[in-house]
């Protein structure tokens, strides 16, 4: 509804300032502290890997970055704006520039693939257009192109739950490609894929436009070293290191997975 001419302000500011910055954020779920004192700045076009053992807080950090979770202390800025002080409408406009691929994908199984892909651009559509498209799919060209990019254009009209796990993963990626955000967050996008597919998926994510920023959580350090230019190591909710991938030593990695 509010899609036309969206958010000129954030884009204008991004060139000099960091695109996302987290300032001393702590997040607690009741007694349990999930993230402690996290600070980081990410510039446009960076390819950042979040690594760490399971339970280290990678998924939580990603959900903090896309505005789903609110920090208990500290603050998050995206495109120079404090994420949790925005009115719902502005908040939505910012969120439109942040696309997330979830570990569990969160696709709607009973819809056809095209609707799941189109879901990425619903933020720019009017309610009426969205409703009509559920009956007569609109903007087929965009969806087809995105599906071609992830290599499954022939699945356009299939039901999503008929696809294999790897194909569903691609649909989730295509949804984000259609959304065409400034920042792509991906939570363990290759955890359930074999090595061949993992490589393909990482290629797709990294071959997006160079201005797009990628933040991806990974359990596979080799993949992180190969595809990303910066690595953030998380251990028990704290940042253990934050360095260019070239500067990451095997000692640092060993330390990361030490119990």
Partner 1 sequence: MSRPAFRFISPSLQWGMIGLVAIALSLWQAGLFQQTVVNLNGFPLLWRFVAASVHPDLSYDLLATTLQASLVTLAYAVCGTFLSVTIGAIAGVFCSEVWWLEVLRAKRLRYFGFHSVRAILAFPRAIHELIWGLFFLNIWGLDPLVAVAAIAIPFGAITAKVFSEILDETPRQPLLTLINSGVAPITAFFYTLLPQAFLNLLSYSFYRFECSIRSAAVLGIIGAGGLGYEILLSLQSLRYEQLWTFFYALLILNGGVDIASATLRHQLGCASRIDLNSHRPTKRNIPNRRIFSLFPIAIAGVALSFWYIQPDLSKIGSPRSQQLLNQIVQTSLPPNFTGMAELIPLSVETVAMSVLAIAIAASGGLLLAFPAAQIFLPGGLLNRRGKANLFPPVLLAVARIMLLLCRAIPAPIWSLVVLYILFPGILPGAIGLGLHNLGILGRLFAEVTENLEQPPLKALSAGGTPDSLVFLYGVLPATMPRFLAYTLYRWEVCMRETVIVGLVGAGGLGRLLTEQLSSFDYQSLIVTLGAFLALTFLVDWISGRVRRSLRSS
Binding site for partner 1 (CB under 8 A): 1-2, 66-68, 88, 92-100, 102, 104, 106-111, 115, 119-120, 122-123, 125, 127, 130-131, 134, 159, 179, 181
Residues 6+ apart with CB under 8 A from 57: 34, 35, 234, 236, 237
Min. distance of Cβ 212 from partner 1 in angstroms? 15
What is the rounded CA–CA span in Å between residue 94 and residue 213? 14
Residues 6+ apart with CB under 8 A from 100: 62, 66, 176, 184, 185, 186, 187
What is the rounded CA–CA span in Å between residue 187 and residue 127? 29
Three-state DSSP at 163 gives coil
What is the rounded CA–CA span in Å between residue 218 and residue 206? 14
- Nearer Cβ to partner 1 (111/140): 111
- Nearer Cβ to partner 1 (97/198): 97
- Nearer Cβ to partner 1 (65/248): 65
Min. distance of Cβ 181 from partner 1 in angstroms? 8
Contact of 232 with 239, CB cutoff 8 Å: yes
- Nearer Cβ to partner 1 (130/174): 130
- Nearer Cβ to partner 1 (157/226): 157
Min. distance of Cβ 129 from partner 1 in angstroms? 9
Min. distance of Cβ 81 from partner 1 in angstroms? 14
Min. distance of Cβ 38 from partner 1 in angstroms? 19
* Both structure tokens of 213: 């920023």
């Amino acid at each position: 509804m509010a899609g036309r001419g969206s958010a000129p302000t954030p884009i204008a500011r991004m060139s000099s300032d960091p695109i996302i910055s987290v300032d001393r954020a702590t997040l607690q779920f009741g007694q349990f502290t999930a993230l402690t004192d996290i600070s980081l700045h990410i510039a446009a076009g960076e390819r950042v890997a979040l690594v760490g053992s399971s339970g280290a807080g990678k998924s939580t950090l990603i959900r903090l970055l896309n505005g789903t979770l609110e920090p208990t202390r500290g603050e998050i800025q995206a495109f120079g704006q404090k994420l949790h002080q925005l009115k719902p409408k502005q908040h939505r406009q910012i969120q439109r520039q942040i696309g997330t691929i979830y570990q569990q994908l969160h696709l709607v199984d009973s819809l056809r693939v095209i609707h799941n892909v189109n879901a990425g651009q619903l933020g720019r559509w009017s309610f009426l257009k969205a409703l009509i498209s559920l009956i007569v799919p609109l903007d087929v060209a965009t969806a087809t192109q995105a599906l071609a990019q992830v290599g499954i254009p022939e699945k356009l009209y299939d039901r999503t739950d008929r696809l294999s796990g790897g194909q569903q993963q691609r649909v989730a990626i295509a949804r984000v490609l259609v959304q065409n955000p400034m920042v792509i967050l991906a939570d363990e996008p290759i955890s359930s894929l074999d090595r061949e597919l993992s490589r393909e998926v990482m290629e797709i994510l990294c071959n997006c436009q160079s201005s797009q920023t990628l933040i991806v959580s990974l359990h596979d350090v080799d993949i992180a070293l190969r595809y990303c230019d910066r690595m953030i190591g998380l251990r028990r909710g704290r940042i253990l290191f934050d360095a260019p991938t070239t500067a990451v030593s095997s000692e640092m990695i060993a330390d990361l997975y030490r119990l």
